[in-house]
Amino acid sequence: MTVLEALKAAEKRLQAIPEPRLDAEYLLAEALGMSRLMMLVDKSRTLTEAEAAAFERMVSRREAREPLQYILGSQSFMGFSFKTDPRALIPRNDTEALCEEALRHIRPGDAVLDLCAGTGALGIAIKKLCPGAAVTATDISEAALSLAQENAQALHADVRFLQGDLFAPVAAEQFRVIVSNPPYIPDALRGHLQEEVEKEPALALFAGEDGLDFYRRIAIEAPLHLSPGGWLCLEAGDGEAAAVAALLKNCFTDIRILPDLNGLDRVVSGRLEASIQGTPFP
């Protein structure tokens, strides 16, 4: 079987997914141990038995709607490659807008907190792009933190990881910037999402009746953990940015809503009013 024949056969099997040919190309390149571009240069190349078997296993997993990033084992974020597996939510390109907004407010020496760290993509990328920052990342999931620590080690990023619910692991600490991509999908959508998304950790997806439960908690607790004039930067779910911004209005100023790469409102940021620093939202 040649590369071209393998791709055509896989594309036919993967018709139920959004981009069957593209996914087939990524999977075959992984099975062959080469870049997608180099593979496409020589479509007449014949696969070995081992390569064909490896490709078959990958296509079968994708046919069962396992996320492509879990099969490939990695995902790019802010120019860095992060290990991905079912222990944590897959980093999305949309979240790069959140990372970029946080970086606007971070100076060397600043303490930065990444809440709901998952793979560690946000905190690790911030540390790599602003090495002088002191970055702490928390997550309630021990499994997610183990993956984040593996990513930090692989990328040589000195990030402190703590397990616990939101701010619980940093109860007595304050930070210049707090950044978070928390769960934000309404519970009613459970079982109705894209099949691939349903295979990601539910703990990282769902957030109460309206999807705002974590934002409410963060709005209440963040003022206790921000230094004077500190910044809170949040990713918002589709259609949620205005509601998230409204939750911040009593304690934060300079509130901004920013789009992602697709032009959708995705990031909400605000600066803590100095007069209420250290005081939780009433």
pLDDT of res. 224: 95
Q: Give the chain's end-to-end CA distance (angstroms, integer).
A: 67
Question: For 98-149, how does the pLDDT look when each residue is reduced to its tens digit (9 = 90+)?
Answer: 999 999 999 999 999 999 999 999 999 999 999 999 999 999 999 999 999 9
pLDDT at 172: 87
CB distance 84 to 140 below 8 Å: no
Closest C-alpha to 244, from 212, 272, 276: 212
- Domain housing 54: 3-64
* Three-class secondary structure of residue 238 per DSSP: coil
Q: For position 282, what pLDDT does the model report?
A: 40
Residue 172 lies in a domain: yes
Same-domain pairing of 11 and 144: no
- The pLDDT score that the predictor gives to residue 273 is 86
Q: Is residue 282 part of a domain?
A: no
Confidence at residue 277, expressed as pLDDT on a 0 to 100 scale: 54
3-state SS class at 38: helix
What tokens appear for 274 in the block? 């100095």
Indicate the average pLDDT of the chain. 95
* Domain termination residue (choose one: 42, 64, 86): 64
> Could you tell me if 204 and 190 are in contact, meaning their C-beta atoms sit under 8 angstroms apart?
no
Q: Within this chain, do residues 58 and 167 fall inside the same structural domain, yes or no?
A: no
Residues 16 and 86 in one domain: no
Q: What pLDDT does residue 276 have?
A: 61
Asked if residue 71 is part of any domain, the answer here is: no
- Percent of residues in the chain assigned helix, strand, coil, to nearest 5: 45, 20, 35
Task: Check whether residue 137 and residue 39 sit in a common domain.
Answer: no
Q: Are both 54 and 119 inside the same structural domain?
A: no
Domain count, the chain: 2
Q: Which tokens hold the place of 65?
A: 């709607």
Position 114 in a domain:
yes
pLDDT per residue as tens digits for the range 164-214: 999 999 998 999 999 999 999 999 998 999 999 999 999 999 999 999 999
Query: Is 0.75 topped by the overall pTM?
Result: yes
12 and 91 belong to one structural domain: no
